[in-house]
Structure 1
């Protein structure tokens, strides 16, 4: 007991002179050092993961697209294919939907939507009626721009984590956006995002081709 009490009373300098005590001190210091390294690495990793990327889209055709353009959209959901085309001018947009051999015509004026009936009249409808296969938010150029800014770029492909799009989602899965500057085309693979609500989906792809950017003067054909 007296020997243990004597060791407790040793000063740090005296303990350092004792080989056994020095070994204990060195071991403790090494442990603290490695613990600090691990904590720092985890904090750095967390910060780099949570900091949103901001890919520069300036001087690209994507940056030019605002509210004046023509569009052609091809949608593939598993084995089903849908087409949309039309023009956008300001807050108004003409919309043609093709499913199989059936064509339907719609019109958006500000925040209201209309469908052309068999008598040639545009009747009030909803966005859900026009886009029952995929919500318009996934076709909206403003949202697509945000996805691209969040993505990790590899040549012309931007990979975006689903967790960066969906709140409180920890998935490491990604969606991809492939940008063709020459053809003014964006191909988006939404499969992993859509699987959140429907695990049976095996394929959800959107291909959008833009033309006549900032050259539309009228929505009339």
Structure 2
């Protein structure tokens, strides 16, 4: 995912998938009905826990302009079924649904971030492997099984090495308008430089001109090369 800022452009939204299968130990067969599966945040052995994404990023402020959907804070996009908006794992168990085509229980589009709930002087503590617990219950609420897993997530995908202002990398020549030199936020700085290069190359493109009039951030997947 892109990190904390979505006000300029986005490469990837916060988006993680959780899949699970329940096996009857006696028959060895998969259990596909008469049970419910849920997921929730879990504190890992180091003490790190991640129970919320809202407030750690401005994603929900710009999600509609970027991706067309409008999930509530701490709710994610869902490419498989836009009608279902799954929540960030929290201390409150959230239901998983059964996918008959894939033969698994799933929670897709979880808007998990690599920042746990511990706020330090440098921002939220990073944890690229937030832990969750999956619980299976019978129709009467009896716990049948549970397991622990992690939802790998990272903000390390960045173009800062080549596109940071005053970069010496040959791969990214300075935009003709000059570097953005936005020292207040390095993340915004390289994104501004990427868009400056793009805008110069496509200044006369009608599609670009129409997009420019919208005055909104851009989903990078739709940028012309």
Of the two structures, which has the highest relative contact order with CA contacts closer than 8 Å and spacing of 6 or more?
2
TM-score, structure 1 length as denominator?
0.25
TM score, norm. by length of structure 2: 0.24
Mark the structure with the bigger radius of gyration: 1
Q: By percentage of residues, which structure has more strand?
A: 1
Structure showing the higher helix proportion among its residues: 1
